[in-house]
Amino acid sequence: MLIHEGHAHAMRFFTPANADSYDLILRLATFGRDNTWKHEIIKTLSHHSQVLELACGTGVLSSMLVEEGKSVTGIDLTFEYLVTLKHKLNASIAQGTAEVLPYRDESFDAVVSSYLAKYVSVQNVVDECWRVLRPGGIVLFHDFTYPRGVVRSLWNIHFELLRLAGRFVASWKVVFEELDNVIKESDWADQTITALRDRRFQNIDVRYYTGGTSAMVSAEKP
């Protein structure tokens, strides 16, 4: 069920037509930086072993977490992306939204997401993370951010090139045409920090990467 515009964006962007090519497009479109960012996520999780990944998609991060010895449960909005994940991993997965999680209270040591925050009601997701996390658990959000200064000019050129590429890759045309505006209009990092504080998470930390083109916000449940 569509609840808000973020869901509409996600359902237009991630479709049966582009599930099989997502991993390749992600590497190419981020010039390989996605792999670096995801290693930062894994480092931040440290000893937390029972992990719920929100918007797990095709299992890029889930696969890396399993390689690190984590037990991973995943949830995603797009069924075809979950099918692709299942070809890689024998993981527990569910189709659904991160804003209403089908899991019991205090089920996980960590809840993580990559590229989710700009599509959701962050307050609702933070509330659900608090509910399903055990005391001492960690929540972590990673997503794109709109950079400043000279990097912003390069970022805008990058998306012009993506729009050009979209003329030749029909399954990604809508994403390449609209994603930059979604990122520009999102203040997900500030919203997340506020929501975490309101929910009384502790040790809230925000880090920016690659010239401010992505950010990671993490916190602990006391």
**Residue 55: CB partners within 8 Å, gap ≥ 6?**
75, 76, 77, 98, 113, 114, 115, 116, 119
| Pairing of the two strands 133-144 and 108-114 | parallel
The DSSP code sequence of 3-50 is -SHHHHHHHHHS-TTTTTTHHHHHHHHTTTHHHHHHHHHHHHHTT--E
> Torsion-angle region of residue 175: left (phi > 0), alpha (psi -120 to 50) or beta?
alpha
7, pLDDT greater than 60: yes
Q: Do the beta carbons of residue 137 and residue 111 sit within 8 Å?
A: yes
Nearest C-alpha neighbor of 201 from the set 109, 137, 142 = 137
Residue 170 CA, distance from chain mean position: 23
Closest C-alpha to 43, from 71, 64, 19, 25: 64
For tokens 């690659």, what's the residue? 210
pLDDT tens-digit series, residues 21-45: 999 999 999 999 999 999 999 999 9
Which distant-in-sequence residues (6+ apart) come within 8 Å of 157 by Cβ? none
What mean pLDDT is reported for the chain? Answer: 95
State the DSSP code for 120.
Answer: S
Average pLDDT over residues 199-222: 98
Task: Report pLDDT digits (tens) over 154-192.
Answer: 999 999 999 999 999 999 999 999 999 999 999 999 999
Q: What confidence score (pLDDT) does residue 46 get?
A: 87
Q: Is the model's pLDDT at 6 over the cut of 90?
A: no
| 3: confidence class by pLDDT, cuts 50, 70, 90 | low
Both structure tokens of 144: 């794109």
